Structure 1
Amino acid sequence: MESNNIWLVNVPVATLWTSYESAREIDRDAIAGTVRLEEWLEKLTYEPRLQLCDDNLVQSQVLFGQEVMIIDEKGDWAHVVIPDQPSGKDSRGYPGWIPKDQLIQQSDWYIKQGPVAVITSKKALLYSERNERLMELSYQTMLPAVEDIVDRIRVKTPTGIGIIRAEDAAVYQAEKEIPKNNGAAIVASGEQFIGLPYLWGGMSSYGYDCSGFSYNMCRANGYIIPRDAHEQAAAGENIELNDILPGDLLFFAYEEGKGRIHHVGIYYGDGKLLHSPNTGKNIEIIPLADTIYEKELCAARRYWMNTGE
């Protein structure tokens, strides 16, 4: 595999593993050439889910059609960086390992230049031109738009032309034309995922971790922010805790706010937090008052602009 060519994710969601040896027997559905995400997550009871974090097995995830840069390989695995996910671990993007079966080479992938279709439904079916169901795509999957027809959109995929229903996506003339919305819009994007189980490393509508949730809700509204919570807390506009508004990111640290940052959520307004808590719990809205989060709250950052709406 040459590292100077464009490589794309060719499965609905590819998990970015810490090492080429990280995946366990129970993870087979997640590392197969045809990923079976729901089957994988169904098997992951509390303990094996917790191990993804505690044993440092998973780093992040990448969506269908997203570009990766290959920097090394080992057997059936590629060591990659994800340019769309800013990280202090590598200036080129978030690093980790993906099975080669989940990547495909493309020589003419013009997503940065032409119209794009972005999945706005929580999940959306991708069809072939013969109307066969190909796969289920996650929220925020972005593909080059070829043609916008009344009730469907023809898109370019890593393996050819596909069709998505118009009601499942928004089309923009270019990626940079995606509107930058206000804080209320970030909250509204997050609200639709209430009840979704937490997944360590999760970056899709099959499951988010805390910083994956804040990253993706900001991205859905036109803002690319760092992938990890402690780096999200070091960027953006610093907001005094007395001045927080809905859509601001709130950060929580050990030792009652004085230690290491370990969690991020979205300020919901009215003293409430919208967040993806931890393994075994679901995305929720909770009052901050009289909780551990109230004690650990240490910083707020604003990534959104007031659009006047």
Structure 2
Amino acid sequence: MPEQTFDQEPDVLWVAAVQVATVWTSPESARAIDAPGISTPTDMDRWTAELTFEKRVALCDENRVQTQLLYGEAVIIMEIKDDWAHIVIPTQPSKKDKRGYPGWVPLNQLKKVHKTEWDQERTAAVTSKFAWLQSADGEPVIKLSFNTMLPILNDEGNRLKAATPNGPLFLAKEHAAIYQTGSGIRQQPGQKLVSAGEHYRKLDYFWGGMSAFGYDCSGFTYAMHKANGYQIPRDADDQLAGGEKVSYHNLMPGDLLFFAYEEGKGNLHHVGFYYGDGKMLHSPQTGKGIELIDLNGTIYEKELCGAARYWQQAGEK
């Protein structure tokens, strides 16, 4: 991890302490209607339900939101301004900052954890769309998104005791996959990426979204790669630049398709998964849900500008 520039305590990490921490363009970007998304704890169900179409569109058109953090995801704090922290996210590569994706989050949505507690041999990754963290007596505490990853303190039969920003809590095994922290999630072939994504068909698009409460186009492709053992850049243009280029006649399920304005000659604006048989699985735009479509005869067919691959065949690992 890059050197921390704000807090120089060598034994401390800053991590997201809410179910999903939205990363804003500036401390002034959040609006009154965004209160459930900037509170501690957050209420993502309420926030996404109350946002009108126009208010959702403004998150993009008014350049308010950059990305999101999942519970327990580590950040580097660069500065603090009033009650906000200027951060970068090492797990979300970006050309915007070589250390990780930059932006602002409410300071009270972050917590310090000690590296000795956080550095466990095994990690639990949430594999269900949502899973509840529980107290010791089984009471629900925090509703977690798919892809949330937490260190495992102990295996307790049908539950895992996990280290969290809120102290030790419990996660049902049926909602998690366990992997060795040092080696990461086992990398899967491309078909597994699209199979994972199919579970989110009809999920509403959310600008900057990185969780099962709503994904944007590149957040969706990022998340399905992450769930299958690959760390790729956060944004679509970086995803195209960083992947292995693939010719259109060699496309395979799990490859990424990229689209640009002016029939593929203008600015890149979209990414989706090649599904096979001329189809694409993607998170299209505000007001629509994740869908599987035939490319033939669509605007996407005209705007296609590139394809890239991050996944590997079993023999290439």
Query: With structure 2 as the length reference, what TM-score do the two structures score?
Result: 0.95
Distance 2:77 2:213 in 1: 25
Residue 180 (structure 1) aligned with residue 184 (structure 2): no
Say which of 39, 42, 48 aligns to 2:46: 39
Distance 2:218 2:266 in 1: 18
**What does the per-residue CA deviation read over 1:31-55, in whole Å, with 9 as the maximum and x for residues that have no partner?**
0111011111111110000000000
**What does the per-residue CA deviation read over 1:92-138, in whole Å, with 9 as the maximum and x for residues that have no partner?**
11000000110111123555652100000010000011222111000
Count of equivalent residues: 309
Distance 2:178 2:167 in 1: 19
Match in the other structure for 1:150:
157
**What does the per-residue CA deviation read over 1:205-257, in whole Å, with 9 as the maximum and x for residues that have no partner?**
00000000000001110000000000000011100011100000000011101
User: CA separation of 1:212/1:112 partners in 2, compared to 1, >3 Å: closer, same or farther?
Assistant: farther
Distance 1:121 1:231 in 2: 28
Query: With structure 1 as the length reference, what TM-score do the two structures score?
Result: 0.97
3-state SS, counterpart of residue 299 of structure 1: strand
Do the aligned residues in 2 keep the contact of 1:112 with 1:175 (CA within 8 Å)?
no
Residue 3 (structure 1) aligned with residue 27 (structure 2): no
Do the aligned residues in 1 keep the contact of 2:120 with 2:151 (CA within 8 Å)?
no
Match in the other structure for 1:250:
257
**What does the per-residue CA deviation read over 1:251-278, in whole Å, with 9 as the maximum and x for residues that have no partner?**
0011101111100000111100000000
Percent identity for Structure 1 against Structure 2: 52
Report deviation, 1:177.
3.3
Match in the other structure for 1:79:
86
Report deviation, 1:162.
0.7
Report deviation, 1:170.
0.5
The runs of 5 or more residues in structure 1 that have no matched partner are none
Paired residue type of 2:298: T
Match in the other structure for 1:259:
266
Residue 166 (structure 1) aligned with residue 173 (structure 2): yes
User: CA separation of 1:58/1:112 partners in 2, compared to 1, >3 Å: closer, same or farther?
Assistant: same
**What does the per-residue CA deviation read over 1:139-196, in whole Å, with 9 as the maximum and x for residues that have no partner?**
0000001122331111111121111111000011225231000000001110000010
Report deviation, 1:9.
0.5
Distance 2:269 2:257 in 1: 11
The runs of 5 or more residues in structure 2 that have no matched partner are none
